[in-house]
Amino acid sequence: MTSDNVILVAGGDLRQQYAARRLRQKTGADVWTLGLPAQSGLHSAETPEEVPAYDVLVLPVPASPDGTTVPAPFGKAALPLETLAAHGKPGALVLGGACGGILPWLESRGLAAADYLRREELCLANAVPSAEGAIQIAMEETARTLHGTAALVIGYGRIGMALAPRLRGLGMDVTVCARRCETQALAEMQGFAAVPTEQLPAAAKAAPVIFNTVPALVLDETVLKGLPQETLVIDLASRPGGTDFEAAKRLRTRVVWALSLPPEMRR
C-alpha cells in the first residue's frame, strides 16, 4: 500500500519511534522523524525545514509541557511548536497526547488538532506501561525485594487500578487510599485494604513504598514530615504532581517524579 501523504513524527521517546514504524507499515505514507534516532525505511531530519510540508503531525506525550516547545530528548534541543505548526499543509491534522491548551492554538493556525489521550480505550491501555514503569523504578530504587513490603497506592483511577494488582502479584501488601467512599468500596471488593484521604498520614507512615497517582497536592509537608527516612515516594501524577517537591527536598525524602512513563529510556 502506498500513499502520497507525508506524516511527520516529531520529538518524544521510543514510543514515537515505534509509532513511526507502524505508521509506515499501515499507511504506506512518506514518514519522516524529527528529533528521533534514524530508522531504516524512514526519513530522518534534524530541523523542520528539512521535512516536506506534512499532512499529519504526530506529537509525543505530553505534546508540549511548556506550551511553546515539543520535548525531544533524543535530539539536540526541544522543537519549537511555532515552527512545527507553520510547516503543515493547510488543514493538516496534528495529533498529540496531553495537549492541554495548545489545541485551540493549533486550530487558530488553520490546523485540525486532536488529543488522543482523550480516548478512553487508549488511556486504559496506557495505564499498563505506566504501572510497569513504576514497578521498574521501585525495584531500582529499593535495596530489598518488593515481596513482603507494604505499598500505598494513592488514587484508584486507571493507573491505580492497573498498578495495585501487579504490586500484589509481586507479593506486596497493598493499601489503596481514595477520596470517594465508592472507590474505597471498589478497592475492597477487589481484595485490597482501603483508607480514606483523612487517614493518609498514618497510611503513608506505614508504607515503605508510596505510589501517588493523584495530580493534586496530597503528599504535603505535613504528611512528608511523618515519613520514615527510608520511605520511597514514586509520583506518577501529571503536572503539577501530588507531592510538595520542595518540602521533600528539605526533608530529604526520596521522591521520583515519573512523568510520562514509560520514560525516555531513563538514559
Domain ranges of the chain: 6-118, 127-257
Q: Which residues contact 74 (CB under 8 A, 6 or more apart)?
A: 13, 35, 36, 37, 264
Distance (Å, whole) CA 133 – CA 14: 14
Q: How many CB atoms lie within 10 A of CB 250?
A: 12
DSSP labels for 36-49? S---TTSEEESSGG
What gap in Å lies between CA 211 and CA 222, rounded to an integer? 17
Q: Which fold has domain 127-257?
A: Rossmann fold (3.40.50)
Beta-carbon contacts of 197 under 8 Å, excluding residues fewer than 6 positions away, are 177, 178, 179, 218
What amino acid is encoded at 248 in this protein? A
Q: What is the pLDDT of residues 3-12, one digit of tens each?
A: 689 999 999 9
Split at pLDDT 50, 70, 90, the class of 261 is low
Domain 6-118 CATH (choose: 3.40.140.10, 3.40.250.10, 3.40.30.10, 3.40.50.720): 3.40.50.720
Name the residue among 213, 232, 215, 220 with its Cα closest to residue 150.
232
pLDDT in tens, 33-87: 999 999 998 999 988 889 999 999 999 988 999 999 999 999 888 999 999 999 9
Q: Is the pLDDT of residue 172 over 90?
A: yes
